[in-house]
Chains A and B, each alone.
Chain A
Amino acid sequence: MNVEITELTRRFGRNQAVAGVNLQAGTGVYGLLGPNGAGKTTLLRMMATVIPPTSGRVRLLGRDPRAYGPRREVRRRLGYLPQNLGYYPGFTVVEFVEYFALLKEMPAARVPAAVATAVERVDLGGRAKAKLRTLSGGMLRRVGIAQAIVNEPELLLLDEPTAGLDPEQRVAFRALLRDLGQRATVVVSTHLVEDVGAACSEVALMDQGKIVFQGTPAELTARGTEQGTGDAPLERGYTAVLAAARS
């Protein structure tokens, strides 16, 4: 298992953002669904080793990231796209992706080729030399994805990756996710249930800091056949599970 999470909690002052999450994930694409404030981003930030958990245990890629050495090893094999992507406006697309390739301590000789590949995979080859300040929101999102995948991560964490992408790009992105999921563990946090249905092999639904459902998209859909609300079958399953968890 690339991700093994046991009784994970995280507090911010008196607010408990994550409350006893258990999660295991191997190779494949995992969708993390949930309403605003459910704790998805906090969970991803802990998995990305950005913040430490308050309690509980995390093992990533077979290593315990609490210790510096293993944490650094994990980070070399990690890709992360935060919800709010900060960027340096003066950097070009290639420079920004190269910057993160170097920060991830990729072998320097392989960086140029890896950067070119990552930029091509997000379909920004034509804008490779463009300054980030000149790009649209959707393009910036794709730059964020490129920096996340530049090191061919074994664990890829994406927080709202399709926000700002047009429908055509979202379709292409889902294909990319499926491709990446063949070799790596990809965890995608999203509000968009259609992304989950199209790309994810498994899905977890979070509410109030806890995972209230874990299974395949088909299983989630099945939960909504009787009492869920929504336009799509998966949306009905989503709302049905949430309603059940809150009742």
Chain B
Amino acid sequence: MTAASAPVAPGPLPVARRAGSAVLGSGRLLRLELRHNAMMWLLPLAAVLFWFNGYREIMALPPMWNLRAMTLQNRLLLDLAVPVTGAAAWMGSREGRRNITDLVAMTARPRWARQLATWAATTAWAEAGCLGGIAVVYGMTARQASWGGPLWWPAVVSAAGVPMLTAIGFAAGAWFPGRFVAPLVTVAVFFGLGYGTQAASGDHSFWQISPLTSGAFDIGAAPGVATFYPYLPDLSIAQVMFAVGLTVAILGTLGWSGARSRPRARLVVAAITAAGLAASGTAVTLAGTGRLDPHGMIVIPALHGAASDQPVRYTPICSHTAIPVCVHPAYAAFLPAVTAAVGSELTEVAGLPGAPARLTQVAAVYRQDPGNGITVSTAASSGSAFVLPDQLPGVPGATTAAFTSQLEQDLGLQLVSDVILGGDSRAAAPSQAQLAVIAGLVRFGPSVENRDLEPLFGYLLPVPGSPAALAGQRFAALSAAAKHAWLVHHLAALRAGRISLAQLP
């Protein structure tokens, strides 16, 4: 330590009063905090957790923007919750743990401003991790998807959830500065987030406000949602409002201790906290008014724009089969599977009276049942329209075999029965000969069991072991050309009920 040899010390420094200097000072402080932030060291852990839990599952999904974006919203924040909340709590408790409270308490910069700098640095690193995860998933999807573009609302919700997590963790650390607060608050937030996604019941649940909830509880991310109609931002807006409001409210409460002796500051802090609470409370209330719309998304009447109900324009992708099958371009990758599943039926009925000129995929219709049940159906009035099952190959729990079987049961049977029964399958009970021919035309895969078809016996298919079933087996054994030729000559009589089982080839 030197007095004489030291550089000549300047006189007392002028106080920083200019706004530019204050901004520069805050910037330098933020840079220091960024350089020494625990979240920076936890980013690799966050990346590993996301890769293990979220990324692999997301990338295994079919390359459809809606599926991947909605699943990303459901996974990313939960994967980040542990490192982000833990790092924020660790940083929030830093002054207390490091026994530096006296030293910082006598500095001119308000405690709140000091804490906000630390919180902002933690949030910046966490947000970088979050946006990195989004960028990777969206970048990969952009290369793989056959149609559409990124859904930004799920990404915005995830990004807005990050400051909320850091605010919760930071405040817990600041209020209870100890070594154990980080693990405790991390566990609490993790299970709180997880519980929030499970507590929803039906479409009017307040729990839909959870930033992990990307759609109706029992559908979640489904291929049919936000494909034919635009992604509805209603629930996302409420979730962002909730996350931002909660963040503001929590950060507001951090200012309480510093504002205790200052009436005006107390008023400002109270106003900020109240505004945050009001925003988050309003968002929860709005989420409680959400209802499932026919397109599978949550509509919040107060936030809903009618323009969002207009269908998305697209040019379908069609097969070059005897009867062209046209699907939404987002499903282009599944067109070969569709035509393979019902290819023989298409060949056998093509050109017959009443056979459709083309089969066109239409949007599914979703309806909320009591509790969390949701019915998925088609609003199509003609036999030429069909709905692809949401259980596409790649969706968790779905297989190519199951997808094919579902198509055979739905599309194949619908196509054949419409042609054989003249498009009026519900008008009168079909004759045994009609049931036999339907059974002889539709090919069910080996995975389709009798119990799956049981509701159709006597209605669209013959009862197993009955004479009609045996006749159906005989008919099925014919070549496609022979079946087609027989139908060309006898379809009118068959529809009129003038063909008996004995007259079938």
Contacts and interface: CB of A to CB of B under 8 A. Distances in A.
A26 B98 CA distance: 34
SS class, residues of chain B in contact with chain A: loop
Contacts of B449: none
Contact of B1 (A100, A106, A169): A169
Interface string A60-100: 00000010100011011110101011111011000100111
B35 interface: yes
A149 to B, nearest CB: 8
Contact of B94 (A77, A78, A88, A142): A88
B6 A120 contact: yes
B107 A117 contact: no
B104 interface: yes
B370 interface: no
B199 to A, nearest CB: 40
A107 B13 contact: yes
Contacts of A4: none
Contacts of B271: none
Interface string B1-29: 11110110111111110100110110111
B106 interface: yes
Contact of A80 (B9, B10, B103): B103
Interface stretch (A45-53, A213-221, A230-238): A45-53
Given A117-B6, A117-B9, A109 B24 contact: yes
A10 to B, nearest CB: 14
Interface in B297-347: none
Nearest to A75: B108
B14 to A, nearest CB: 6
A30 interface: no
A50 B101 CA distance: 9
Nearest to B10: A152
Contacts of A104: 107-109
A120 B103 contact: no
B15 A73 contact: yes
Given A86-B99, A90-B36, A68 B108 contact: no
Interface in B89-126: 94-95, 98-110, 114
B103 A82 contact: yes
Contacts of A90: 36
A109 B16 CA distance: 10
B32 interface: yes
B3 A107 contact: no
B261 interface: yes
Contacts of B101: 86
B262 interface: yes
B181 to A, nearest CB: 18
Contact of B35 (A73, A95, A110, A178): A95
B32 A99 contact: yes
A114 interface: yes
Contact of B28 (A73, A98, A183): A98
A61 B103 CA distance: 19
B102 to A, nearest CB: 5
B106 A106 contact: no
A107 to B, nearest CB: 5
Contacts of B482: none
B265 interface: yes
A194 interface: no
Contacts of B21: 107-109
Interface in A221-235: none
Most buried by A among B7, B13, B110: B13
Contact of B108 (A103, A107, A108, A179): A103
Contact of B4 (A95, A120, A175): A175
A122 B109 contact: no
Nearest to B99: A86
Interface of B: 1-4, 6-7, 9-16, 18, 21-22, 24-25, 27-29, 32, 35-36, 94-95, 98-110, 114, 261-262, 265
20 contacts: A75-B106, A76-B16, A76-B108, A77-B15, A86-B98, A86-B100, A86-B101, A91-B32, A103-B108, A104-B108, A107-B15, A108-B16, A121-B2, A151-B13, A152-B9, A152-B12, A153-B12, A172-B3, A175-B3, A179-B3
Given A108-B24, A120-B7, 15 more contacts: A48-B102, A66-B261, A68-B262, A68-B265, A85-B103, A86-B102, A87-B98, A88-B36, A88-B100, A105-B109, A107-B21, A107-B25, A121-B7, A172-B3, A184-B12
